[in-house]
Structure 1
C-alpha cells in the first residue's frame, strides 16, 4: 500500500508567497528529487483557506509518496533525506507533517 508524507507549511515571516513557492519548487524540489524510493512528489500553493479566509494559516503543501512504509523508512535514513531537510532548518516558518496510508478512491478497487 502506498505511503505518503503530507506536509503543510507556512513561509518564513520575511518571505513573500512568491519567494517561498520559488524556493520550494526550485532548490528544495531539486534536493527532494534525489531521495531514494520517492515515486511521486507534488506541491501545491494554498490559494484559499476556508477556515481562515482573511489570513491563511498555510502557504503550501507537499505530498511525497513511497511504495510502502519500508521505502519511506529507508528514505528517512538516507543522506539525500538529510540534505533535503537541512535546507529547512532555521527558516522560521511553521509546518505540520503526517504520514498516511492511501488508496485511490477513483480507481474503483478500494477493498
Structure 2
C-alpha cells in the first residue's frame, strides 16, 4: 500500500510595499482562505506524507545571501525589489479542497 499524502492549496510571493494589492488581500479571507502578510506567526504544514510534514510555510525570513541563491541568475535590480518587498502567503486551511484558491484569486483581478 502506498503512502498517504495531503496538500493544502497555497501560493506565496513578494509584493511591492505600496502595492494596491495589499489592501485587497483581506477579501480572500472572506472566501475562506488564510492570508499571511510577512512572516507567519507559526509554522503551517502545507503538505504531509503519512502525517509527517514535507512542506512547511516557515516563520523564518530568508537572509540576503539565501535570496541571491534562491533567485540565482536574477538581476541586481530585481533582487533589490525582492529584498524590499513584502512577503505574501495565501493558503486554503482545508486539506485537499480543489479549486477554491484559484477561484478566490480570480476575484482580485
> Normalized against structure 1, the TM-score is what?
0.40
Q: TM-score, normalised by structure 2?
A: 0.41
